[in-house]
Amino acid sequence: ERDKYENNDVAGVVTGLAWTRVGGDILFIESILSKGKGNLNITGNLGKVMKESATIAMEYIKAHAEEFGIIPTIFEKYNVHIHVPEGATPKDGPSAGITMLTSLVSLFTQRKVKKSVAMTGEITLRGKVLPVGGIKEKILAAKRARIKEIVLCEDNRRDIKEIKEEYLKGLTFHYVTDMSQVLDVALTKQKVKNAKKL
């Protein structure tokens, strides 16, 4: 099984939940910075909608830089690259939105991502979190990958209620409506070791 590696030592790596033709799966959003002129690079065999999620996340952060404690001039000095590993698998849909936003906030603040957290949810340009599909399959995949806490849209609470209790053992759910709540759950106050000085 490929999906066991986990690592919150590096900023910008966040675990998401995906729904593929062969069932639920976890996926990783990775983002890095390199000196540049503000370009956004997106890879991982992604479809149009998933690429749009990356753009929305990036623009949201730019528009709310101060709230996140990010100096706005930073955006013009670095290129951002967002990647979703396992290039052989085509990926699409809006559900990685909150994972991408969390990844980017971690990257630009160098804050450490909480251990054993995974998430799934669409993001809007206002920072609202929207519900997504395939919840049952995603939860089963999360358990297999030893995830402990899961962030979902409040409107997906009903989907969890329809899942047999025994499948939910050992999982903590965080239901959110706004992006700020996702970040409260998923990002620690602590910086990563060897945090980059931006």
Considering beta carbons, is residue 20 or 41 the nearer one to Ca ion?
20
In the window 105-164, what residues touch Ca ion (CB under 5 A)? 120
Would you mind telling me the total number of residues written for the chain in this entry?
A: 198
Question: Is residue 5 at the binding interface for its own copies, with CB under 8 A as the rule?
Answer: yes
Question: Is residue 137 at the binding interface for its own copies, with CB under 8 A as the rule?
Answer: no
β-strand partners of 142: none
Which sign does the torsion angle of CA 113, 116, 120, 121 carry? negative
Measured CA to CA, the distance from residue 198 to residue 177 in angstroms comes to 30
Judged by CB under 5 A, the stretch of 9-17, 147-155, 165-173, 187-195 that binds Ca ion is: 9-17
* Contact (CB, 8 A) for 169 and 51: no
Q: Is 114 annotated in the active site? A: no
The residue annotated as part of the active site, out of 95, 103, 106, 112, is 95
Considering beta carbons, is residue 77 or 172 the nearer one to its own copies?
77
Burial state string for 154-193 with b = 16 or more CB within 10 A and e = fewer than 16: eebeebbeeeeeeeeeebeebebeebebbbebbbeeeebe
Contacting positions for its own copies (CB under 8 A): 2, 5, 7, 10, 13, 28, 30-36, 41, 43-45, 48-49, 52-53, 55-56, 59-60, 62-63, 72, 75, 79, 81, 83, 85-88, 93-94, 97, 122, 124-126, 128, 130-133, 155, 177
Q: Which residues are catalytic?
A: 95, 138
